[in-house]
Amino acid sequence: MNALATETTVDRIDPLALRDVFGQFATGVTVVTTLTDDGAPIGLAANSFSSVSLDPPLVSWNLSLNAPSLSAFRTSASFIINILCENSKDLALNFSRPSEDKFADVDWRPGLNGAPVLNQASAVLECETVQRIPGGDHEIYLGRVRQFNRCEKAPLLFYKGQFSQIGAGL
C-alpha cells in the first residue's frame, strides 16, 4: 500500500484539505425535494444520499444547518430523492445555486404528499421522514421509502468537485 501524500491528526484538521479527501469518493447526484408550509415546491442538489436498510426500507441524506430550505424540510413529513441521470448536469446546477424559483423551467409532477418528482430523474425514492439527527454543521435525515421507480439511464456522478459520468476517466 502506498503512503498517503498528506497525513493529519484529529487535533489539526484543515477543513479544505478534508474536503479534498472527501472529494476522492465518487458519488451520485440527487435533487431532494419537499413542499414549504404554504405548499410551494422546494429542492436542493445533494450528493450525501445513502441507502441504509432494506428491511425496513430506509435511506439517508444530509442538509446544512445554513441551508435556506432547512425549515421546510424540518416541518415536512416527507421528502423525495430524485437521482439524476448523466444528461442532468444543468438540472443539478440549477438546484445547487440560490434562486427565487428553482422549479421555473423544470418538468415535474407531484409525488408523495405533493412533493416534486423530477421527470428527468433516473430513479425516484418517495420517503416519509422518520428521524432527523444532529450531525455537526448538518442535519441527517432518515427516511422510510414508501414508493420508488427507476428507468435505465446512466447516473450523473460527482468526483473531485466536478460532475462526471461512468467511463469518463475517473
pLDDT over threshold 60, residue 102: yes
pLDDT digits (tens, 9 = 90+) for 67-76: 999 999 999 9
User: What span, in angstroms and rounded, lies between the C-alpha atoms of 70 and 64?
Assistant: 8
Residues 6 or more apart in contact with residue 160 via CB below 8 angstroms: 20, 23, 24
Residues 6 or more apart in contact with residue 146 via CB below 8 angstroms: 78, 112, 126, 127, 128
pLDDT over threshold 80, residue 35: yes
CATH 2.102.10.10 fits 30-165, yes or no: no
pLDDT over threshold 50, residue 18: yes
pLDDT at 1: 45
Set of cell numbers at residue 159: 468526483
